[in-house]
Amino acid sequence: METVNIEIFAHDSEVEVAHKINTMELHNWINHLTYVRKELNNLIGFYNAQPLEKRLEQEMTAQKFEMKQVDNDVILSELMKFKNSRGTIAECQDMHCDMTFIQEHEKCRRMYLFHIDKYRKLKDSFFADLRGKMNLEVKSA
């Protein structure tokens, strides 16, 4: 996982500090979504490794993971585009330009947090179902 080392100096303006913090946050989101991509690949692989009758029984869950994988890739792509556009922040000459980047960052934050919340709920549901099925198998054995 790539880490970003950005220093905040005492002489930095409030806007410069905000941009630096936002840069670190954006890198963390990208790293997290890259990990989520790998995790979704593993969960889908887990599903596909099951016998056919179990796969048919859990097809809706697999489809939800596949849809979440598409969502994850779309959001990751949007964050990468935003990251690449931030190279021009240093060229901002007025507060309007700075505010445009800050507002875009807030939009990305909401998109990221909404996605992660939905992903966690899906994953929690999957593991609760799996735990329930394992408990049933243990009781019937």
Q: What is the pLDDT of residues 25-48, one digit of tens each?
A: 999 999 999 999 999 999 999 888
| Separation CA 129–CA 126 (nearest Å) | 5
String of DSSP letters for 51-117: -HHHHHHTHHHHHHHHHHHHHHHHHHHHHHHHHHHGGGGGG--SHHHHHHHHHHHHHHHHHHHHHHH
CB 76 within 8 A of CB 37: yes
Q: In this predicted model, what pLDDT tens digit does every residue of 79-106 receive, in sequence order?
A: 999 999 998 898 989 999 999 999 999 9
**In whole numbers, what is the pLDDT of the chain averaged over residues?**
90
CB 47 within 8 A of CB 58: yes
Q: Is the dihedral of CA 68, 74, 78, 83 positive or negative?
A: positive
Q: Is the dihedral of CA 102, 79, 6, 28 positive or negative?
A: positive
Check residue 135 and give its pLDDT: 79
| Separation CA 79–CA 41 (nearest Å) | 20
